[in-house]
Every structure is written in structure tokens, then in C-alpha cells.
Homo-oligomer: A and B are copies of this chain.
Amino acid sequence: MSDWVYVRDIAASEGQVVTVKGWLYNRTDKGKLQFLLVRDGSGLIQAVVSEKDIGPEIFAEVQRLTQESAVEVTGIVHADRRAPGGFELQVQDVHVVQFVQDYPITPKEHGVEFLMARRHLWIRSSRQHAILRIRAEITRAVRAWLDGHGFLNMDTPILTPSSCEDSTTLFQTDYFGEPAYLTQSGQLYNEATIGAFGRVYCFGPTFRAEKSKTRRHLTEFWMVEPEMAYVDLDGCMEVEEQFVSYIVQSVLANRADDLKVLERDTSRLEKVVPPFPRISYDDAVKLLNDKGLDFKWGDDFGAPHETVIGESFDRPVFVHHYPTAIKAFYMEEDPQRPEVCLSVDLLASEGYGEIIGGGQRTASYELLEQRIKHHHLTREAYEWYLDLRRYGSVPHSGFGLGIERTVAWLCQIQHIRETIPFPRMLERIYP
């Protein structure tokens, strides 16, 4: 029995006989030679099968091998500069685990609806595979940076009795006779856990029952939300630019192969290092007007506005001090100018729009109480949140990074449906 190795680790077995276990990605028939391209999830390797090495019986099986058939291939590892990955297998034995007939996704073009209905298979295709590997690296980098900078992971609840932001887009469920809602953000709970841990983050799924069918919206998406006690708006921006730069540079360093599969131009990503430019909402409005866009102070930016602002800089740009009226009830007002608040959004470069929303939260009990009234929120549901201002209230800030938008940006893809293994959208909950 030879050792089972993953293609990722094959270099360590040069000159040895090993077994690769995977699926047939492609086969090239050269008569007495068969070239198998085998994928095992960790990489692709070419396996060269010669009839004289393995005998006519197994060779006949190899000649019948179809796309996605499950195979165990045993052979000697040879370095070969021309081979994808730099190594190939000179095959000594092939064990067919399953012959596959009529695999539905072929190298020809398929429509998106066809592929989405077969998402459980589509993820095996090289582009989707690369995107989801980059997603996993983003998740790893997010946690590595936060864990390494004193943030404790505190899981916040999914089922909540009240809403954090937009109550018109809540998924509801029956919680033993009472209504409960799927969370849209863990932030309010983060504001409690910083009272115990100083710096925290939650990282989990969030939900929006949004009836819009756009290339930027999912009903279920993942968000990481760091929160920090004793940190103000400026401190928040400093953390954000370090954090985002680390994520981008980690993907460049650890997923170069996958970026190549996607034909991603990485020169723009290499520029994503601190400091990021910072402009006020006021200046962003001027910028839009100067570029000839009709935009009034007090309105919220739409995707086209975000694109124009983002494209005006060579790296992600902070826009801070939005009008208080268009931001959430918990935002801290600018003490000098209460019509704007200490909020900050981060707009990605290359037109990918907002990837972070955040800022400084209201520390004052009185102000928060007014806001809850003003926004017609149920006082009882927020009683515990008011407690946080009664018992040791401090200046504090935090932000939420959308994972899927970050994946879309770094992979330079147009539609967010490819950024998550099983997207949930207005008309899509299968598979």
C-alpha cells in the first residue's frame, strides 16, 4: 500500500510512489498513453497512464473514464516544469471508485439558472472553486488579525426579540408562541460584551428579507463585526485600515494561484495598504457635484455614487460624518454639529462600493433614550441596551465588514451569488 497524499503536499513526495484520491477533471487520449487531469480538492495533477505500465485490463478502464468519475491513482511523483503545479504522476495503478455517466456541467456554456440549480456541482468548476477558496482565506485572515489584536470572539444571538436596523426586512419565526426575528447585526450585543471584554467581535450569518433582486443582495450573508470600548471615530478608522489591508495582503500572499485562475489583475490590490484616504460626507457631495452628478446634501449614496467616489482614489476610501438623519439610531452625534454623526463607511476601490459600515456609538443615556422614542422603537425591547449607558458607559466604536462584498471585490466578480457556497436570494433557496 502506498501513502495517500493530497496534491497540495505532493512536492514532499518527489521520487516516491503515492496514491492520489479524487475525481477526473479531464482526460486526453493519445492511444497507448492516457493523460488524466485529477483534482482532489487541494489541487490538480496530471497522471500519465501507459498501457505497458498497468496492463490492458486496467488500461481499458482508464480509456472509459469520464468527467467527475471517482478515481484513486497510484504512481511515482516526477517533477515536471511543464505540468500544472510542477509535478506529475507516472501511473502504476488506477482504482475506479465510481464511473460517472452524463455529468451535467460540461465545458460548454451553461446558463446561470442552470448552474445555480446545480450549485452543489458547479462549485467543482475551477472558477467557483477558486472564489470559494479565496472566501475561506478571507475568513481565516479576518480571525487571525482580530485574534492577534486582542479581540475576543463573542457569538451573538441569531434569534432576537427586536430588530437592530430596518424592521421592514426581517425574517420572523414563531418562538414558542412569541414572535422572534433573525438577526440583521450582532452590534447591539457587541456593545454589551465590550463591557466585559474590552474588544470583541462577532462573526456569523445575518439576514435581510429584501425583495430586491440585484447583483449586490443576498437574503443571508456573513458579517464580521468588531467593537471596541474606549475607541473613538479616528481610532476606529485606524483599526479598519489595518484590518482590511491585512485581509487583502493575506489573499495576495496565500491565494495567488486562485487569483490567477480568476485572471484577477492584482496590481490594484497591492496598493491596499494604510493609510486610506478619508473624506467627509460634505466633501463627498462636492466631489459628486464636481463630477457633474446631481446629488443633494442629506441624501444617501446609491451604488452609482459609491462607484464614482470609490473610483476617485487608488485604494479604499473612508467617508465619515454622514447626516444623522440617514444613519441608525445608535450613532453618536458630532457634539459641534449634531446634524452630522460620527459614522464612517469604507468604500472599496474599483467601484465595488461599501464594504464596511460603522462608527462611534452614542454613549449618553439621555440621547439614546430620545433616539429610541424618535425612531418609534419599543422601549421594553431596548431596556437592556439602555442599561449599557447606565452602568459604565464609555466612548466606543465598531464596524461591520460584509464577507460576500469583500469576496466580490477581491475576486473582481460582478454578481454576489458566486461569493458564497449556497446563495440565498429572492427566488433561490435550493439547493
Contact = CB atoms under 8 A, between A and B. Distances in A.
Interface residues of A, number: 92
A132 B154 contact: yes
Contacts of A388: 120
A120 B387 contact: yes
A175 B169 CA distance: 11
A430 B384 contact: yes
A158 B158 contact: yes
Interface stretch (A133-141, A241-249, A285-293, A315-323): A133-141
Contact of A69 (B147, B198, B392): B392
A199 B41 contact: yes
Contacts of A139: 153, 155
A381 B431 CA distance: 8
B198 A393 contact: no
A193 interface: yes
Contacts of A205: 155, 158, 204-205
A97 B394 CA distance: 7
A159 B391 CA distance: 37
Contacts of A83: none
B22 A198 contact: yes
A147 B422 CA distance: 21
A152 to B, nearest CB: 5
A197 interface: yes
A199 B103 CA distance: 22
A338 interface: no
Given A21-B394, A189-B421, A205-B204, A129 B196 contact: yes
Interface string A138-175: 01100100010010111111111100000000011111
A385 B390 CA distance: 52
Nearest to A124: B196
A211 B429 CA distance: 27
A426 interface: yes
Given A429-B180, A431-B384, A392 B70 contact: yes
A420 interface: yes
A266 interface: no
Contact of A173 (B132, B172, B222, B230): B172
Contact of A100 (B172, B219, B391): B391
Contacts of A429: 157, 159-161, 175, 178, 180
Contacts of A174: 171-172
Interface of A: 4, 6, 8, 21-23, 40-42, 68-70, 72, 97-98, 100, 103-104, 118, 120-121, 123-124, 128-129, 132-133, 135-136, 139-140, 143, 147, 150, 152-161, 171-176, 178, 180, 182, 189, 192-199, 204-205, 207, 209, 211, 219-220, 222, 229-230, 381, 384-385, 387-388, 390-395, 420-422, 424, 426-427, 429-431
16 contacts: A4-B230, A6-B150, A40-B198, A42-B197, A98-B392, A104-B391, A120-B385, A123-B196, A124-B195, A140-B143, A156-B422, A159-B220, A161-B430, A172-B174, A176-B427, A205-B205
Given A157-B424, A173-B182, A178-B429, 10 more contacts: A70-B392, A124-B196, A139-B155, A155-B421, A159-B219, A159-B424, A189-B431, A193-B421, A384-B430, A385-B431
